[in-house]
Amino acid sequence: MVQLFAKINDSVARSFIGRWFLLEGCGKPKERVGSRFTTELRAGLTTWAAMAYIISVNAAILSDTGGTCVCTRDDLCISDQDYLSCQNEVRQDLITTTAAIAALSSFLMGALANLPVGLAPGLGLNAYFAYSIVGFHGSGIVSYREALAAVFLEGWLFLILSLLGLRQWLVRIMPQSLVLAVGAGIGLFIAFIGLSGGGLSVIGGDTTNFVGLGGCNPDNYVSADLVGYCKGGVLRSPTMWLGIFVGGILTVLMMLYRIRGAILIGIFIVAIISWPRPTSVTYFPHNEIGDQRFDFFKKVVTFHPLNKIGNAIDYAYGKGHVWYALITFLYVDILDTTGTLYSMAKFAGLRDPVTLDFENSTIAYCVDAFSISMGALMGTSPVTAYVESATGISEGGKTGLTAMTTGFMFFISVFFSPIFASIPSWATGSALVIVGSLMIRNVVEINWDYLGDAVPAFLTLIIIPLTYNIAYGVIAGIFSYIILNGIPFLLRKISGGRIIPSNYEDSEGWVIPPGSIVPYWIRKLLGRTGDGEDEMIDVNGSPRSGMPSSPGSGSDARMGQDHSESAIGSDLQESLDEKEKEREKEGLHESQGNVL
């Protein structure tokens, strides 16, 4: 079997496919070391297994808005059978949409950008779309159709920003502490959703304390405002405990033992337990809604058309609230998607340690932008790159074949929409909490030693979940950073460097990484490149010789050093170079020891 796989890998590597995706052995100068055809396929399946939960989770979150369904009084929506029936059909539409756009976007990312990154409607972005913009049962500032218009235009604006190279730089100039805090804050936000009514219903138990205990039986649940509350019997819901123990604890145990697709397995175990009708945890109770769900579930394999949300955009660009939604989508998505692409490229060893750019970045951003607009036409929130791509990369995925395999698996999922549509919220609630816990680990990289960095990061981190709004957290972080770092900067300049904070040397500083502002395709069009090597242009306009972006050259651990290189003297630079050489020697000795 090993010899068969080796023969397949060698044959594919020497073919057009191998040369296009730079597989090892293709003969190209920039072939990606360690990339093999069979490994890429396995990595793609792993990424799909880690991402597949989004099919049901995205549908559950966005269907909370009611989609294109109309409910005149929010406090009566939960008892309006016609509205609930329409909402259930919207959820079924969203199952198809999520799988379809994930298939299209992941396939394009792999085929055109040659990156092992899967895409789908983003967690956090969909929560912002659902709860901050459209609102629960459509109680927000714009309707579902108008919000889709904002997303549609956002995609085309992103395409322009990507082609001009501005999107890359908008993130590269952001203070690192704020970028990390946004990711961690979104993690808390997602976990909060998983614990509330959109998931396990553990919290949201009474009218005086929104974060009080919940988890009551349906008989004790009272609809009020956006989430409802429990009038008694908290923590007695059997579905809540099923989601906690099987969907949560069992899933984490599987992850501890590195079982691939643990999150997806946990979701499906809870769902399967919830499918039999004569139980206390059934998703198909014997009522009108339960019967409708069960009739759709029995189809198993079918193609569900987009009856409610397909091409449902209301191009109401004359309304101010639509532009508010558009602007907030723009900067929230810039931080989310661009940051994820950078981190995944770094993890795969495809990012230049000096310029912080990665291979085919312009194409990757254009694919992402195009997918956002196509997703809006299909009725879903913004599409983004997924951190779960790291699971496939850890399996050895290094090329676009990984993403294309992931896209193919999502395409197959389109025809199993009755199964994914019948996954209850208590099956996905724990998954949201687990994903949130994975995203929160960014906080360890925040510079907590200097208050000018720590306080803005903390405000960003805490305001996002407490206000149920990512945009508010980003605004708080940016403004507090400008004030807390701008005033000391002015005092230092006015006093000639005599008035500075006591531990100013602990500040991470704000510097612009070296590299060209102008994207490669424009420089090539203008004749600003030479001998195939990118010419770097500093922000002050002076050209400098560039470093070719080759995977594995240098260490991404130098990222923090490279941020400082534009501001430190030559003596310190020499010291850094010596340390880097020592680090490379140690790595060489270690690799030789592993071979022996």
Q: Are 537 and 517 in contact (CB under 8 A)?
A: yes
Distance CA 452, CA 175 (A): 11
- Cα torsion angle, 460, 466, 471, 476, sign: negative
**10-residue averages of pLDDT along the chain (596 residues):** 83 88 86 87 83 84 86 68 84 91 96 93 85 83 91 93 79 79 82 78 64 72 55 80 93 88 83 90 86 85 84 85 85 73 78 73 91 94 85 83 94 86 82 83 90 95 82 86 94 92 87 65 68 37 36 35 34 44 45 36
Give the tens place of pLDDT for each residue, 79-105. Answer: 677 888 888 888 889 999 999 999 999
The residues with which 536 forms a beta bridge, in sequence order, are 544
- Written as one string, the DSSP assignment of 400-466 is HHHHHHHHHHHHHHTTBHHHHHT--HHHHHHHHHHHHHHHGGGGGGS-TTSHHHHHHHHHHHHHHHH
- Strand (E) or helix (H) holding 119: strand 119-121
CA distance 380 to 387: 19
- Nearest to residue 321, comparing CAs of 143, 466, 195? 143
Pairing of strands 229-230, 221-222: antiparallel
- Boundaries of every domain in the chain: 1-31, 32-201+237-443, 447-501, 520-595
Tokens coding 80: 């309006």
Among 180, 174, 242, 240, CA closest to 213: 240
Q: How far is CA 130 from CA 96, 385, 442, 455, in A?
A: 18, 19, 25, 29
Beta partners for residue 121, in sequence order = 383
- Dihedral angle over CA of 561, 563, 568, 573, nearest 10: 40
Q: Dump the DSSP string for 333-356.
A: HIIIIIHHHHHHHHHTT-B-TTT-
Rounded distance between C-alpha atoms, residue 68 and residue 364, angstroms:
32
Tokens 């998607």 belong to 337
Rounded to the nearest angstrom, the gap between the alpha carbon of residue 137 and the centroid of all alpha carbons in its chain is 25
Under 8 Å CB-to-CB from 42, ≥6 apart: which residues? Answer: 395, 396
Contact criterion met (CB below 8 Å) for 48 and 60: no
The answer to whether the Cα torsion of 582, 584, 590, 592 is positive or negative is negative
Which parts of 162-271 are beta strand (E)? 221-222, 229-230
Question: Which pLDDT score, from 0 to 100, does residue 566 have?
Answer: 33
- What burial letters (b/e) apply to 393-415, b meaning 16+ CB within 10 Å? bebbbbbbbbbbbbbbbbbebbe
Instruction: For the full predicted model, state whether its pTM sits above 0.75.
Output: no
- Can you state the percent helix, strand and coil of the chain, rounding each to 5? 60, 5, 35
Q: Which of 6, 2, 361, 435 is nearest to 183 (CA)?
A: 435
The pLDDT assigned to 157 comes to 92
Q: Which of 543, 468, 521 shows the shortest CA–CA distance to 197?
A: 468
Cα distances from 381 to residues 133, 134, 295, 404, in angstroms, run 11, 11, 28, 22
**Rounded-to-integer distance, Cα 197 and Cα 80, Å:** 18
Query: Tokens 């979150």 correspond to what residue?
Result: 61
Per-residue confidence (pLDDT) for residue 584, from 0 to 100: 46
Distance, in Å, from the CA atom of 474 to the CA atom of 571, rounded to the nearest integer, reads: 37
Beta strands, E only, 501-581: 535-537, 543-545
* The predicted structure's pLDDT at residue 149: 93
Q: For the purposes of burial, counting CB atoms within 10 Å of the CB of 99, is it exposed (0-12), middle (13-18) or buried (19 or more)?
A: buried
Question: How many distinct helices (H) and strands (E) make up the chain?
Answer: 25, 6
Q: How far apart are CA 566 and CA 291, in angstroms?
A: 65
Q: Two tokens at 157?
A: 């604006």
pLDDT at 111: 94
> 399: number of CA atoms within 13 Å, CB side?
25
Other C-beta atoms lying within 10 Å of the C-beta of residue 346: 16
Element (H, E) at 364: helix 361-377
Contact present, 551 and 359 (Cβ < 8 Å)? yes
Q: Which pLDDT score is estimated for 371?
A: 95
Q: Is the dihedral angle over the CA atoms 128, 131, 132, 134 positive or is it negative?
A: positive
Which pair of structure tokens corresponds to residue 118?
Answer: 């899967």
pLDDT at 481: 95
Calculate the alpha carbon distances from 579 to 186, 410, 552, 576 in Å.
Answer: 36, 45, 17, 5
For the chain, give the number of residues. 596
Give the separation between CA 123 and CA 183, rounded to whole angstroms. Answer: 11
Distance CA 425, CA 202 (A): 12
Q: Tell how far CA 219 is from the center of its chain.
A: 37
Judged by phi (left if over 0) then psi (alpha if -120 to 50, else beta), residue 217 lies in beta
